[in-house]
Amino acid sequence: MFLDSRDRVVAIIDGANLYATSKAIGVDIDYRALLSDFQQRCRFIRAYYYTAYLEDQEYSSIRPLIDWLDYNGYTMVTKPAKEFSDAAGRRKIKGNMDIEITVDALELSPHYDHLILFSGDGDFTALVAALQRKGKKVSVVSTLSTPTPMIADDLRRQADFFVDVVDLTKKFGRPVPGAPVSDDS
- Return the CATH number at 22: 3.40.50.1010
Q: How many domains does the chain have?
A: 1
Question: In angstroms, rounded to a whole number, what is the distance separating the alpha carbons of residues 32 and 35?
Answer: 5
Q: Is residue 163 part of a domain?
A: yes
pLDDT at 184 over 70: no
Q: Is residue 1 part of a domain?
A: no
Mean pLDDT of 20-33: 90
Q: What is the pTM of this model?
A: 0.88
Whether the per-residue pLDDT at 54 is higher than 80: the answer is no
Task: Tell me, yes or no, whether 29 lies in a domain.
Answer: yes
164-176, pLDDT tens digit by residue?
Answer: 998 988 888 876 6
Residue 80 lies in a domain: yes
178 torsion bin: left (phi>0), alpha (psi -120 to 50), beta (else): left
Residue 91 structural domain: 8-175
37 has pLDDT over 90: yes
pLDDT digits (tens, 9 = 90+) for 85-128: 888 888 777 788 999 999 999 999 999 999 999 999 999 999 99
What is the rounded CA–CA span in Å between residue 61 and residue 169?
22
Residue 3 falls inside a structural domain: no
Q: Is 156 contained in some domain? A: yes
In a domain, residue 185? The reply is: no
Residue 181: inside a domain, yes or no? no
Alpha-carbon dihedral 100, 104, 106, 111, rounded to 10 degrees: -170
Nearest of 116, 73, 124, 122 to residue 100 by alpha carbon: 124
pLDDT at 185: 43
Least confident of 8-17, 46-55, 111-120: 46-55
Q: What's residue 56's pLDDT?
A: 67
